[in-house]
Protein backbone atom coordinates (compact mmCIF):
# COMPACT_ATOMS: atom_id res chain seq x y z
CA UNK A 1 0.00 0.00 0.00
CA UNK A 2 1.29 3.44 -0.91
CA UNK A 3 0.71 6.31 1.54
CA UNK A 4 1.34 9.92 0.49
CA UNK A 5 1.45 13.16 2.45
CA UNK A 6 2.00 16.76 1.41
CA UNK A 7 1.78 19.76 3.69
CA UNK A 8 2.95 23.32 4.03
CA UNK A 9 3.10 26.01 6.67
CA UNK A 10 3.25 29.61 5.55
CA UNK A 11 3.51 32.64 7.84
CA UNK A 12 4.13 36.37 7.63
CA UNK A 13 5.23 39.01 10.09
CA UNK A 14 6.72 38.21 13.48
CA UNK A 15 6.40 34.49 14.17
CA UNK A 16 7.26 32.93 17.55
CA UNK A 17 10.01 30.28 17.39
CA UNK A 18 7.56 27.52 18.40
CA UNK A 19 5.27 28.39 15.48
CA UNK A 20 7.86 28.29 12.68
CA UNK A 21 7.70 25.64 9.97
CA UNK A 22 10.08 22.77 10.74
CA UNK A 23 11.63 19.77 9.01
CA UNK A 24 12.70 16.69 10.92
CA UNK A 25 11.43 14.33 13.59
CA UNK A 26 9.44 11.14 13.84
CA UNK A 27 6.62 12.28 11.53
CA UNK A 28 8.28 14.69 9.11
CA UNK A 29 11.45 13.98 7.17
CA UNK A 30 12.67 11.13 9.36
CA UNK A 31 16.45 11.17 9.51
CA UNK A 32 16.73 14.81 10.56
CA UNK A 33 16.30 15.54 14.25
CA UNK A 34 13.08 17.37 15.14
CA UNK A 35 13.28 21.00 14.07
CA UNK A 36 16.68 20.65 12.34
CA UNK A 37 15.51 23.19 9.76
CA UNK A 38 13.07 25.90 10.73
CA UNK A 39 11.84 29.11 9.14
CA UNK A 40 8.67 31.09 8.44
CA UNK A 41 7.64 29.00 5.43
CA UNK A 42 7.99 25.31 4.73
CA UNK A 43 6.70 22.56 2.46
CA UNK A 44 7.13 18.77 2.59
CA UNK A 45 6.11 15.85 0.36
CA UNK A 46 6.48 12.33 1.77
CA UNK A 47 5.71 8.82 0.56
CA UNK A 48 5.71 5.50 2.36
CA UNK A 49 5.29 2.03 0.83
CA UNK A 50 3.86 -0.47 3.33
CA UNK A 51 4.14 -4.22 2.80
CA UNK A 52 2.69 -6.96 5.04
CA UNK A 53 5.21 -9.74 5.70
CA UNK A 54 3.73 -12.48 7.89
CA UNK A 55 1.81 -12.89 11.14
CA UNK A 56 1.62 -9.32 12.52
CA UNK A 57 4.82 -8.06 10.93
CA UNK A 58 5.19 -5.58 8.11
CA UNK A 59 7.89 -3.52 6.45
CA UNK A 60 8.00 0.00 5.01
CA UNK A 61 10.23 2.04 2.75
CA UNK A 62 9.88 5.80 2.88
CA UNK A 63 11.23 8.99 1.40
CA UNK A 64 10.53 12.68 1.49
CA UNK A 65 11.63 16.04 0.15
CA UNK A 66 11.09 19.46 1.62
CA UNK A 67 12.43 22.93 2.16
CA UNK A 68 12.03 25.92 4.46
CA UNK A 69 12.74 29.59 3.89
CA UNK A 70 11.99 33.09 5.13
CA UNK A 71 9.94 33.97 2.03
CA UNK A 72 7.55 31.89 -0.05
CA UNK A 73 9.79 32.10 -3.13
CA UNK A 74 12.61 30.54 -1.07
CA UNK A 75 10.67 27.26 -1.14
CA UNK A 76 12.24 25.98 -4.36
CA UNK A 77 14.38 23.17 -5.75
CA UNK A 78 17.65 24.86 -4.77
CA UNK A 79 18.82 23.51 -1.45
CA UNK A 80 16.02 20.93 -1.38
CA UNK A 81 16.34 18.63 1.62
CA UNK A 82 15.68 14.91 1.34
CA UNK A 83 15.30 11.91 3.62
CA UNK A 84 14.73 8.20 3.12
CA UNK A 85 14.78 4.97 5.05
CA UNK A 86 12.94 1.86 6.07
CA UNK A 87 11.31 0.24 9.01
CA UNK A 88 9.40 -2.61 10.57
CA UNK A 89 5.84 -2.68 11.85
CA UNK A 90 4.19 -4.91 14.46
CA UNK A 91 0.39 -4.83 14.38
CA UNK A 92 -0.68 -4.52 18.03
CA UNK A 93 -4.36 -4.25 17.14
CA UNK A 94 -5.26 -5.18 13.55
CA UNK A 95 -8.87 -4.04 13.85
CA UNK A 96 -7.86 -0.54 14.98
CA UNK A 97 -4.77 -0.57 12.69
CA UNK A 98 -2.51 0.26 15.65
CA UNK A 99 1.13 -0.47 14.88
CA UNK A 100 4.35 -0.33 16.82
CA UNK A 101 6.91 1.10 14.43
CA UNK A 102 10.69 1.02 14.32
CA UNK A 103 12.10 3.24 11.58
CA UNK A 104 15.62 4.13 10.53
CA UNK A 105 15.94 7.32 8.51
CA UNK A 106 18.84 8.85 6.62
CA UNK A 107 18.99 12.49 5.64
CA UNK A 108 21.88 14.55 4.34
CA UNK A 109 24.57 14.18 6.98
CA UNK A 110 22.30 12.83 9.73
CA UNK A 111 20.33 9.74 10.66
CA UNK A 112 17.89 8.59 13.30
CA UNK A 113 16.05 5.66 14.85
CA UNK A 114 12.38 6.08 15.74
CA UNK A 115 10.29 3.81 17.95
CA UNK A 116 6.64 4.90 18.24
CA UNK A 117 3.01 3.82 18.28
CA UNK A 118 1.04 4.60 15.15
CA UNK A 119 2.12 5.51 11.64
CA UNK A 120 4.05 8.64 10.75
CA UNK A 121 1.09 9.73 8.58
CATH code: domain of residue 93: 2.40.160.50
User: What pLDDT, on the 0 to 100 scale, is given for residue 76?
Assistant: 86
User: What pLDDT, on the 0 to 100 scale, is given for residue 61?
Assistant: 98
Query: Which runs of E-coded beta strand occur in 34-121?
Result: 37-39, 41-54, 57-69, 81-93, 98-107, 110-117
Are the C-beta atoms of residues 104 and 84 closer than 8 Å to each other? Answer: no
User: What pLDDT, on the 0 to 100 scale, is given for residue 77?
Assistant: 85
Q: Is the pTM of this model over 0.75?
A: yes
User: What pLDDT, on the 0 to 100 scale, is given for residue 104?
Assistant: 98
Burial of 65 (0-12, 13-18, 19+ CB in 10 A): middle
Cα-based distances in Å from 6 to 3, 16, 66, 75, 118: 11, 23, 9, 14, 18
Number of domain units in the chain = 1
Task: Provide the residue-wise pLDDT of the chain in tens; the chain has 121 residues.
Answer: 999 999 999 999 999 999 999 999 999 999 999 999 999 999 999 999 999 999 999 999 999 999 999 998 888 888 899 999 999 999 999 889 899 999 999 998 999 999 999 998 8
User: What pLDDT, on the 0 to 100 scale, is given for residue 45?
Assistant: 97
Residues 47 and 45: their CA atoms lie apart, in Å, by 7
Residues 106 and 88: their CA atoms lie apart, in Å, by 15
User: What pLDDT, on the 0 to 100 scale, is given for residue 70?
Assistant: 94
User: What pLDDT, on the 0 to 100 scale, is given for residue 40?
Assistant: 96
Q: Which domain holds residue 15?
A: 2-117
Amino acid sequence: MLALQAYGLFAAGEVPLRSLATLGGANSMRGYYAGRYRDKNGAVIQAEYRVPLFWRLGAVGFGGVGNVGPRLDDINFEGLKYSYGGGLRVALNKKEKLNLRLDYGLAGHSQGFYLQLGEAF
